[in-house]
Copies of this chain bind each other. A is one copy, B any other.
């Protein structure tokens, strides 16, 4: 009889509010005091605390909205300054309808409002932007943790994105370091001994979704350890999850 396969998702408690310049590795290891990080663990961190530590906050009082931002905001009852920030964070507008702005960010992510978000941000008129380079942010955290722990811990930075055709948002990986974000089973055999086709799993996105089960949206639990998942060490990046526009049937 085979033993069951176990994967544990551990939400770290008592995370303080993160501020610009904070040492995220130190804060995370302090929160992990009761459940120390083990070799083999994966760390999943929500985008917001990474952005806050990097000072990616914009005070809307400093923003002068363009005519386009004023027009769209006026029509749909939005803050024109926030719309302006969204436009500045975009390299392409994918859809701009019924008060919804779906944007392609400079990273190539396609999401609502270019990832600009006011929830869980201190200050009445402050919005939070995505990190400039979430893969680089993940790599810095990965390196800082390896230095303190003496072993490598893959890092995933997650954010919640909507999807076409399906209701509700789910967490996906916007930054990755220390592991392959895709598991490529092409050329391997299935349980019937036949070669498998087109089976590339977006494991970093699945790990981000799994971590959301402990993050919650209201509890202050932005950091999760995933224990028991056999990851593949690799110089992976979340950029590998962004589909080449040439291959993209929905561009």
Residue numbers of A with Cβ under 8 A of B are 1-14, 34-35, 95, 97-98, 100, 102, 110, 112, 118-122, 160, 163-172, 181-183, 185, 188-192, 194, 196-203, 205-207, 209-210, 212-214, 216-221, 226, 229, 240-243, 248-251
Contact = CB atoms under 8 A, between A and B. Distances in A.
A166 to B, nearest CB: 5
18 contacts: A2-B13, A4-B34, A4-B35, A5-B216, A7-B8, A7-B9, A7-B213, A112-B198, A120-B191, A165-B251, A167-B182, A168-B182, A168-B201, A169-B199, A169-B200, A185-B217, A188-B218, A199-B217
Given A4-B12, A166-B241, 7 more contacts: A4-B11, A5-B13, A6-B214, A7-B210, A8-B9, A119-B192, A168-B241
Nearest to A189: B218
Nearest to A200: B168
A170 B13 contact: no
Q: Give this chain's copy count.
A: 2
A229 to B, nearest CB: 5
Contacts of A196: 119, 217-218
Contact of A166 (B7, B34, B198, B243): B243
Contact of A160 (B3, B171, B201): B201
A17 to B, nearest CB: 8
A210 B207 CA distance: 7
B249 A192 contact: no
A119 B185 CA distance: 12
A199 B167 contact: no
A168 B182 CA distance: 7
A59 to B, nearest CB: 15
Contacts of A165: 110, 242-243, 248, 250-251
Nearest to A7: B9
Given A207-B213, A209-B206, A34 B3 contact: yes
A205 B4 CA distance: 23
A102 B249 CA distance: 9
A214 B170 contact: no
